Structure 1
Amino acid sequence: MRKLENKTAIVTGGSRGIGANLCECLAAAGANVVVNYASNKNAADEVVFRIESAGGKAVAVQADVAQSADVTKLFDVAEETFGKVDILVNNAGVVHYKTIQDTTDEEFARLMQVNVNGAFYGMRKASVRLTDGGRVISISSSAARMFLPTYGPYCATKGAIEQLSRSLAKELGHRGITSNIVAPGPTETELFLGNNDEEKIDRMRKMAALGRLGKPEDMGPVVVFLASEDSGWITGQVIPVNGGTA
C-alpha cells in the first residue's frame, strides 16, 4: 500500500546507514525523495539508482546541514524538482564517544553544528516551506536515556533535538503538521560498528530484550508510519525503536 503517493520527502544524511534505508522505504511507500549527502556522492547516487530501479523517483543533493544556506538549497531543489515538500526527516548526524573531560572545544562544536544546528535549520525552514498536514521526523537516540559514560556530549545533542521537536509540534499543530522523534537503539551501521570495539558491541547486543543489535531496516516502517496520514494524531512524541534496549 503506497501511503505516501504524491508526497515529497527530504532525508538529510540519506546516503548511508539508517538514512539510506529511510530513503528507500519512503520511496517504496510512494514518496518522491531528496537524498541529501555531505560528501559521499557515489553512495547517494547508489541510493537514487536503487529507488529509480524499483520504479520510484529520487534526486541526490549535496548539502552540509551545518550551513543554513545549504539547508535552504535542499528545500529549493525539492520544490524545483517535485513541486513541494511534505516531509522532512532530520537524520544527518555525527557521533562522538569520549568522556566530557576529554572532549575538545572543536569536537563539541562539531557535534553541535551538525546534529543540533542541522536539525534546527531544517525545522526552521520546514516551518515556512512544508505543506499543511506535513510531517517532521527527527532521529534521536535511545542512548539519551541510558546514562552511558563517553556518550554525554553526543546525547546532549540528541536531547536538544528532542526538545526542538516538541516545541515545533506546538508551533505547527494549527496547520496539521506533526513533529515526532524516532530514537533507535544500537544499530548495525558504519558509524556504530566503526566507532566501538567488539566487547562494547557485544555488551550493547546483550542489553536488547530481543537479543540483537538493530538494523537500519528496523527504522524504515516506523518512519513511514509517522510520515503517513495514519499517524495524524501523534505529535511531540519520542518513539523508541530499540528492541527493548532502554
Structure 2
Amino acid sequence: MSELHGKTIIITGSSRGVGADTAQILAEQGANIVINYRSKAPRAEKIVAAIEEKGGKAIAVGADITNEGDARNLVDTAVQEFGGVDYLILNASGGMEKGMVEDYAMILNRDSQLRLARLTAEHMPEGARIVFVTSHQAHFIREVETMEEYTPVALSKRAGEDALLEEIPALQEKGISLVVISADMIEGTVTASLLNRLHPGALEARREEAGKLYTVNEFAHEVAKMVTADVETGHTELVGGGTGFIK
C-alpha cells in the first residue's frame, strides 16, 4: 500500500497542465486530492471525474488564492471533506495575464503563496510537507537574465520562494517540511508557448542548450516524487540539472 494512501493533498492551479497531471499521479497512489481552480469549473470537474473513474478520491474547489477568503475556504473545504491536509503543492503561478491589478505577479507569486502556506499549516500534522513549484528562470533570476516579458514573473516567484524559505523555522516548530522543485522551460505549458510566440525559436534554442526539456507529464511525475522524497527541509530539486544557469 502506498504511503500516500488516505493522505490529503491540496494542489493549487491543478485544473490543467502540470498541476492536473500531478493530481492524477498522486490520486493513483491513493491520496485524496483537492483540485484547485480559479475560474474554469468544468475543466476542474473533468480532472475529478478522471480520478474517480480510476477509483480515486478528489474534489474540485474554486478559489482565487489572491483572495484571502477564497484561500481560507480552499483549506477549510479540504479539512471538512477529508479531515485535514497532509501535503500542499503550491503549483499555481502567473503574472503575464493582461488587465490584472498593479503588482499582480508579486501578489500571486509571493504574498498569496506565503499566506496559503500559513493557512494550511494550521491544519497540517507533524510530518506534513509543502512543495513549492518554480522554474529555473525564476530560481536563478538574480544570476541569469531571462526574457524581458517573463522577468516580473521570475522576480516575483523568486520572492515567493525566498518568503517561504524564511518560513522554515516556524514550519519546523510544527513538524512541517518545505521543499522547492524547479524545472527549465516545460514543453507544452502556456508560459513556454507564449514566450516562444514572442521570441520565435526560444524554446528550440533552450532545448538545444539544456539537452532536454521535460514535458508536462514528465515534470508532473517529478513534482509528485517530491511529496515523499527523502530530503531535508529547504531542499531545492533542480529537475534536469541547471545547464546554462549554474556557473
With normalisation by structure 1, the TM-score equals 0.88
Deviations 1:10-61 (A, max 9, x none): 0110101111111111211211010000011111111111111111100001
- Measure how far apart 1:76 and its partner are: 0.8
**SS where residue 86 of structure 2 aligns?**
strand
Task: Answer yes or no: is the 8 Å Cα contact 2:16–2:43 preserved in 1.
Answer: yes
Deviations 1:181-236 (A, max 9, x none): 111210121332134224122122222123xx3212222333333222x42x4211
Cα distance in 2 for residues equivalent to 1:108 and 1:239: 31
1:137 aligns with 2:131: yes
Q: Which runs of no fewer than 5 residues in structure 1 stay unpaired? A: 98-103
Task: Answer yes or no: is the 8 Å Cα contact 1:95–1:191 preserved in 2.
Answer: no
Corresponding residue for residue 219 of structure 2: 219
Task: Answer yes or no: is the 8 Å Cα contact 2:181–2:226 preserved in 1.
Answer: no
Change (3 A) 1:139 1:83: same
Cα distance in 2 for residues equivalent to 1:3 and 1:127: 20
With normalisation by structure 2, the TM-score equals 0.87
Task: Answer yes or no: is the 8 Å Cα contact 2:14–2:91 preserved in 1.
Answer: yes
- AA paired with 1:32? N
Corresponding residue for residue 17 of structure 2: 17
Cα distance in 2 for residues equivalent to 1:3 and 1:223: 16
Cα distance in 2 for residues equivalent to 1:244 and 1:32: 33
Task: Answer yes or no: is the 8 Å Cα contact 2:90–2:131 preserved in 1.
Answer: yes
Which 10-residue stretch deviates more, 215-224 or 183-192?
A: 215-224
Aligned residues: 236
Superposed, 1:27-176 pairs within 5 Å as: 27-96=27-96, 109-144=103-138, 145=140, 146-150=144-148, 151-176=150-175
Corresponding residue for residue 194 of structure 2: 194
Deviations 1:84-138 (A, max 9, x none): 11111111111439xxxxxx99675111122222211211112312122111001
Change (3 A) 1:106 1:17: closer
Which 10-residue stretch deviates more, 7-16 or 117-126?
A: 117-126
- Measure how far apart 1:238 and its partner are: 1.6
- Measure how far apart 1:244 and its partner are: 4.7
Task: Answer yes or no: is the 8 Å Cα contact 1:167–1:236 preserved in 2.
Answer: no
Change (3 A) 1:239 1:134: same
**SS where residue 127 of structure 2 aligns?**
strand
Cα distance in 1 for residues equivalent to 2:119 and 2:89: 12
Task: Answer yes or no: is the 8 Å Cα contact 1:89–1:137 preserved in 2.
Answer: yes
Corresponding residue for residue 101 of structure 1: none
RMSD: 2.2
Task: Answer yes or no: is the 8 Å Cα contact 2:10–2:88 preserved in 1.
Answer: yes
- AA paired with 2:147? P
**SS where residue 140 of structure 1 aligns?**
strand
Q: Which runs of no fewer than 5 residues in structure 2 stay unpaired? A: none
Task: Answer yes or no: is the 8 Å Cα contact 1:134–1:177 preserved in 2.
Answer: yes
- AA paired with 1:200? A
Cα distance in 1 for residues equivalent to 2:24 and 2:162: 28
- AA paired with 2:24? E
Task: Answer yes or no: is the 8 Å Cα contact 2:86–2:125 preserved in 1.
Answer: yes
